[in-house]
Amino acid sequence: MNIQNSSEIHKIYIIHGHDASPNDHWYPWLSRKLQQAGHYSRRIVMANASQPDFEAWQKFLALQMPDLDENTIVIAHSLGCLTALHYLNQRFLQTGARIKAGIFVSGFKTRLTTQPELTNFIQCAKMDSGILQTHIPICISFISSNDPIVPPPASIQLGSFINAQIYEVKDAGHFMAEDGFSEIPELWDVLKPLLTT
């Protein structure tokens, strides 16, 4: 494993969820913070986010997130978490790559009663907890105490699956702009130390 120093530039990929775009919620704020700190930040564009197609979203990740290494950090929101974890799982199997960390906001791995239209998409995802834990040594899961879309137990279940540190933010809804989250200061507080080690 590479010994990293604080001058190394990290690559951070930000992956949005269902019915969102890279310009929504807290993604532009986080991207700016990362760039101001001297790191490479890319907000991934996913097609047809209102009616997501699993294979299409996998292709979009492959096109926009081709290089994974120990300076890579993946940050995903909602359906983007499941999408990213499936993609990473397959890439790890193919290449043996490892990334530095994954941060998952309102993530889940099982079908949601609140979003039945996503059931087929969710069932396409294949993930191996051992592979993910080995190749993403630092996993962090943000959950909201009153998430109306992803019940907190669903996020806790995903966190357990990937051996994530779980951070609960009180009354954060689904961490969307309409919930008051055009920024997530708690996420930056957790991310910042990772950028200097």
pLDDT value of residue 1:
36
The model's pLDDT over 109-163, given as tens digits with 9 standing for 90+, comes to: 999 999 999 999 999 999 999 999 999 999 999 999 999 999 999 999 999 999 9
Which member of 16, 18, 25, 174 is catalytic? 174
Q: Which pTM value belongs to this model?
A: 0.95
Band of the pLDDT at 8, cuts 50, 70, 90? confident
Which member of 16, 144, 147, 155 is catalytic? 147
Sheet holding 40-44, edge to edge: 40-44, 11-15, 72-77, 101-105, 138-144, 165-169
Domains of the chain in start order, with CATH, are 11-194 (3.40.50.1820)
For residues 110 and 157, the answer to whether their CB atoms sit within 8 Å is yes
Return mean pLDDT, the chain. 95
pLDDT value of residue 6:
44
Q: Which positions ≥6 away from 25 have C-beta within 8 Å?
A: 16, 77, 175, 176, 177, 181, 182
Does residue 179 register a pLDDT over 90? yes
For the chain, the C-alpha Rg in angstroms (whole number) is 15
Q: Does residue 18 have an active-site annotation? A: no
pLDDT, mean of residues 22-49: 97
Does residue 95 register a pLDDT over 60? yes
Which member of 78, 141, 144, 155 is catalytic? 78
Does residue 5 register a pLDDT over 50? no
Question: For a pLDDT cut of 90, what percent of the chain falls above it?
Answer: 93
Q: Does residue 78 have an active-site annotation? A: yes
Band of the pLDDT at 7, cuts 50, 70, 90? low
pLDDT, mean of residues 101-116: 97
DSSP 77-102: ETHHHHHHHHHHHHHHHHH----SEE
Does residue 2 register a pLDDT over 90? no
